[in-house]
Structure 1
């Protein structure tokens, strides 16, 4: 996750499983762990996730899927509070780092190097699906498939947590510009209305707010150019 645009690599507008940043780009990104620019290179979990798991009894413990788990900072928190966590990331370097983090934290996390679109996810498997920084790297033609993937992965009554760019955090490119230029420019920013239009028809959105800024030494990650959304698959939904 970064609010600094970069050109990335070209993607095919006809391939719903591809983005403009391929695995080798992300491997290079995660290779230098000493970087100071990406604030999420630390160990601190998202402030919203910590709030949800510590104060919201509706987040039933069980299986959790961490999409785009990066270096494992959120997966480790979920494992610590009682979830059985599967973390997936497009970068092998990120998975290697997350494996080390989980070991150092003394928690068990199943970590996979894969695109989430290539995972064989059994329907209605997870109580929680969490995405901190993956969704805003998806091309426009991937959105509907991604919503369907998350919905199918969740048990009825399960929750979806999302952290993604607000407009000021993204590249500023329109969908048309993305498709014509074959680049996301570093990630797409979303308005509140756009998120509600996309996720609202399938999920009950419990909260959608701006992330609270936290200092690096606070023990929590928080940047104001991000949204935090907590949504729920209807209990009455057919698995």
Structure 2
């Protein structure tokens, strides 16, 4: 980053450094952490199982979304990207963890999915659906600006944005300013429904509810400590 601030990108890069002082950019430290998280594939982590989110499966079953081009933001081991591809979507899936992308690529071999290791905010293209299961609540507050810019740039007119993120019971309710003082997210940011509506106010809400708990033998993943939200571009 330049010594003097000139652009919004310069400000964001400065805040990345304040938030993660041991890395030039927040994404570098986060990528290293998630590589370690995904390294042991045998860990008993519920969302390691190759099941799609129950809300995503429900959107398709109810006709709220239809096949088209999709971007899976923070795709992890690819469970939702694989579900979308198997149901007629052309999928781009991105994650900052190279370990997760390697695993997802193995799982999704032969399907119409383009997996990419890198920064989701650098994604290029135009999408009928942008899906995020568990990325948004791990972003430092200033990167919500980059997130909204991605939606503005990449979501087609009339397209859908779907989000799964922490409730306030699961994630931290610490104010944004305090997160920078402690230089960490305490595991992730928890949101209230009205906060999500305020952040994504440029979109039309289709549905916002708590995720439905799913039994172990279910074909889908669901935990009630998560919000599910579906928005449509106006």
TM bracket (short chain): 0.7 to 0.9
Runs of 4+ in 1 over 6 A off after TM superposition: none
Checking the alignment, whether the CA contact within 8 Å between 1:20 and 1:182 is kept in structure 2 is no
Aligned to 2:225: 225
Alpha carbons 2:162, 2:230 under 8 Å: kept: yes
Separation of aligned partners in 2, 1:219 and 1:84: 22
Q: CA RMSD in A?
A: 1.8
Q: TM-score, normalised by structure 2?
A: 0.87
**Which residue of structure 2 aligns with residue 171 of structure 1?**
172
- Contact 2:208–2:228 (CA<8 Å) still a contact in 1? yes
SS of residue paired to 1:22 = helix
**Structure 2 runs not aligned, ≥5 long:** 1-14
Work out whether 1:198 is the aligned partner of 2:202.
no
Find out whether 1:12 has 2:17 as its counterpart: yes
Aligned to 2:87: 81
2:77 paired with 1:71: yes
Residue by residue over 1:136-195, the C-alpha shift from the partner in whole angstroms, topping out at 9 and shown as x without a partner, is: 011111112211211220110000000000001103322122111110111100001100
Q: Secondary structure at the match of 1:161?
A: strand
Which among 34, 52, 59 is matched to residue 59 of structure 2?
Answer: 52
Mapped partners of 2:53, 2:28: distance in 1: 25
1:127 aligns with 2:128: yes
Q: Deviations over 1:93-149 (max 9, x none)?
A: 10011011112xx42210000011233x14xx1000000000001111111221121
Deviation track 1:41-83 (CA, whole Å, cap 9, x = no partner) reads 1011000000001212x42321100000000100001001110
Unpaired segments ≥5 residues, structure 1: 1-9, 235-239
| SS of equivalent residue, structure 1 residue 168 | coil
Q: What TM-score, normalized to structure 1?
A: 0.85
Aligned residues: 216
Structure with higher RCO (Cα < 8 A, 6+ apart):
1
Paired position in structure 1 for 2:111: 107
Say whether the 8 Å CA contact 1:27–1:91 is kept in structure 2: yes
